[in-house]
Amino acid sequence: MAVDFGGIKMRNPINTAAGTFGQGWQFEPFIDVSELGAITTKGCAAEPWPGNPAPRMCEIPGGMMNSVGLQNPGVPAFAEESGPYLAELTDKGTQVICQVAGHSTEEYVRALELFCELCPWAAGFEINVSCPNIAAGGAACGSTPDGAAEVMRACRKVTDKPLIVKMAPVRVAEIARALEAEGADGLSVINSISGMAIDVHTRRSRLSKPTGGMSGPLCHHIAVRMVWEVANAVKIPVNGVGGVMTGEDAAEFILAGATCVSVGMANFVDPTASVRILRELEEWAASQGVSDINELRGAVIC
Amino acid sequence: MPQPSSARLHEFRIVSNDKIADGIFSLVIEAPALAAAIKPGQFMNFEVPGNAMSLLRIPLSYARADAEAGTVEVWYAVVGEGTERLSHMLPGETSTVLGPGGHGWSVPADCSRVLLVGGGIGVPPLVPLAEQLKRDGIAFDVRIGAKTASTCVGVEHFEALGASSVSVATDDGSQGHHGFVTDLVADALAGASYDYVATCGPGVMMEKTAGLALDAGAYCEASLERMMSCGFGACSTCNVETTEGMQGACMCGPVFDASKVVVW
């Protein structure tokens, strides 16, 4: 089941979506986190961010919508609080990918420099140029090939470690090509999809902000299509993200061309979901008669 | 490793699920490990099956726990599609629940008199606190607010637990004082000396109660409600703005030091 995600050697293809898995230790009462191939920690910036006011979440049919706004304690506090646990997790063989947040190219670079200095145990970093819930940075700079490429170019100068880019669900093939050209090692496809929910009785948004990011099963088939487009557009590996609730959902991403798969909202519904999905994916691979999951990557018949 | 939530995943079986007031149900579940672990003010996050389009759990407080019988009793209001679905679950049916989560009530040491203030479906988490106060021999009074008499719960339970006094206020005057429960709180605080005030209910009610309590020199705690995704500290959606920054209701709450709450 081992895969190579842009230089991040994973013992199996199951990863977790940033922002849905805390820093990993929150799940230790429920599962042995070290069974997973990798975890991606919640996005962190150089300085602490307070995030958005309440309400930050509403439930929508087939998923949820959030406007957390990347609340985080800043890289130094993150490293101090969760570093020892994450270093131990790395020793046990689960790769830790730290997600990097920023409002500008300079802020992404500063956060990445701090990560490199304070989190030497990290297997790689995921640059989040696709958060739909912050006024500057995030999707505001990652939704065009030029904007995403600028951040990638600057971050590439900071480290030789694997750099993954979390992509917005727009213009994915052309943005993927631009990121590959700037030296990205892998791509996470997709971040949550911007949406809007209105309470018609109060006429207010159901979130503290007018819009939020939609995630969960409602996004899954959009994400599968985008993973397939990206996998066909670039040579660097893809991490499929979006509404994976079962091993078969994960298998769809692999067949569409993903090297690995992140479990997201399912972690909230069932904290044991990631390990269950790994077992189901193993069963599916066996049912396909292959001894190596890599044989099934991009094996969709169409 | 930082301390994770005390919540664990439990399977439960429904013992009973009955209407106890207008739009309010009492759910009794059999879940022995949960019943033995849960403490007053903590909460649980319920998986309610039956709608593939609705996935998230429903966070609920509890009204009573019986460690010997292995049961937990929840009072919940039907407020949306999820709680409507829960109200149709039958004795014998099974599902899963995550709990116990969060920090409950922290009654100060050397406390001699306590005021409990509940509004609407905010009353239930005060019931196990009353039980604890009775066990510890601490006198307490109860003030309850409800829209109308038919939605008022808890009066007989608090009386049975030995409350020194129980008074009710209703919006329409159908039971007790015609007006806000905070009128009764102001009177109580003026008439007696309290060391501790515990409140749960609508935000405006808790904010007003906390202001009155702090003016009277009593330590006040409030149990807050937020939209919640996971219930164990992973999602950052149940934020409460406090004087110490944004804090998650699931891990830092749901019971907060009222003097530190900025946005109710």
Mean pLDDT confidence for A106-132: 96
Q: Tell me the shortest Cα–Cα distance from B233 to chain A, in angstroms.
A: 7
Q: Are A166 and A186 in contact (CB under 8 A)?
A: no
User: Is it the case that residue B144 has pLDDT exceeding 80?
Assistant: yes
Mean pLDDT confidence for A161-190: 97
| For chain A, domain boundaries | 3-296
d(CA B217, CA B36): 35
pLDDT at residue A294, as a whole number: 98
pLDDT at residue B175, as a whole number: 97
d(CA A163, CA B99): 38
Helices vs strands, H then E, count in chain B: 6, 16
ipTM, 2 dp: 0.94
Contact between chains at B233 and A58 (C-beta distance less than 8 A): no
pLDDT in tens, A46-96: 999 999 999 999 999 999 999 999 999 999 999 999 999 999 999 999 999
Size of interface A-B (CB pairs under 8 A): 110
Contact between chains at B7 and A29 (C-beta distance less than 8 A): yes
Mean pLDDT confidence for B240-256: 96
Bridge-based pairing state of the strands A193-195 and A212-215: antiparallel
Contact between chains at A217 and B55 (C-beta distance less than 8 A): yes
d(CA B191, CA B92): 48
pLDDT at residue A11, as a whole number: 98
Q: How many degrees, rounded to 5, is the angle at CA A60 between CA A13 and CA A62?
A: 45
d(CA B63, CA B82): 20
- Mean pLDDT score across all residues of chain A: 96
Q: Known catalytic residue: A141?
A: no
Q: Which 3 state secondary structure label does DSSP give B87?
A: helix
Q: Give the percent of chain A with pLDDT over 90.
A: 95
Report the half-sphere exposure of A14 (CA within 13 A, side-chain side). Answer: 27
pLDDT at residue B120, as a whole number: 96
Give the CATH class of A3-296.
alpha beta
Which residue among the candidates A44, A119, A131, A219 is catalytic per the annotation?
A131
State how far the alpha carbon of A15 is from the alpha carbons of A80, A166, B177, in Å. Answer: 23, 13, 57
Q: Are A56 and B236 in contact (CB under 8 A)?
A: yes
Q: Are A237 and A186 in contact (CB under 8 A)?
A: yes
What residue ranges define each of the domains in chain B, with the CATH number in brackets? 8-101 (2.40.30.10)
| Of the candidate ranges A123-137, B115-129, B179-193, the one whose mean pLDDT is the lowest | A123-137
Q: How many degrees, rounded to 5, is the angle at CA A112 between CA A180 and CA B238?
A: 105
